[in-house]
Amino acid sequence: MGAMIGTEVQRRQFSDRLGRIQKGGENTTRHVYIGPVDEAVGEKPRKVRRVRTIRATGPRRSLAGELFMVPFALLAGAAAVLGARVAFFHYLGGLEQFQGEFQGVALTTVGAAGLALVLFLALRLIFRLKGGARDKAAFAGLMGMALFENLAVVRAPEVFSVVYSPEHVSRVVSLLAT
């Protein structure tokens, strides 16, 4: 048994413990060693660095903030389409050449739809219209204005005659009035 115990300190500790066990006394040191004891029993344990966890999701949005932004997202989608249409009308020589025979559909060309999509994505990034109901409302505004802009021209010709020419507005009103 002496060959298994290494140092003199360990031998004394072991013999003290055996004496307490034989007496039936209480474990006064409150240490239980299992297996061979290291030489550095009295050393302090090394400090462990804590790892900071980063949340995978961003800050939560409140329901009131989300509901407040839905009408704004609708307007942003509609403004993207209207901006693309105005740009095509004033800078590319009119909308009739792009509409062809589809007079009821607002955006029938890839160029006008692409410009509206670029404006839509820019407004979406600038005003943080990503996620949740904001995406759906912005897309609904985009599609609603793309499909029903001519009907809006018929409902409010005074407003659209400022944006487009009065001739274009009267032409749209006469085509949809029949």
How sure is the predictor about 158, in pLDDT bands with cuts at 50, 70 and 90? very high
128 vs 110, more confident: 128
> What is d(CA 177, CA 154) in angstroms, rounded to the nearest whole number?
8
Residues 171 and 138 occupy one common structural domain: yes
- pLDDT tens profile 1-45: 445 556 888 888 888 888 877 776 555 666 666 666 555 555 565
How sure is the predictor about 106, in pLDDT bands with cuts at 50, 70 and 90? very low
Domain contains 116: yes
Residues 5 and 90 occupy one common structural domain: no
Residues 104 and 161 occupy one common structural domain: yes
- The answer, yes or no, to whether residue 153 has pLDDT greater than 50, is yes
155 vs 36, more confident: 155
Domain contains 70: yes
Domain contains 45: no
Residues 164 and 81 occupy one common structural domain: yes
Residues 72 and 11 occupy one common structural domain: no
Residue 150 sits in which domain range? 63-177
Domain contains 47: no
Residues 86 and 21 occupy one common structural domain: no
| pLDDT at 39 (0 to 100) | 55
Structural domains of the chain, count: 2
Residues 168 and 82 occupy one common structural domain: yes
> What is d(CA 6, CA 39) in angstroms, rounded to the nearest whole number?
9
- pLDDT tens profile 46-85: 666 777 766 656 566 677 778 888 898 899 989 998 888 8
Residues 165 and 78 occupy one common structural domain: yes
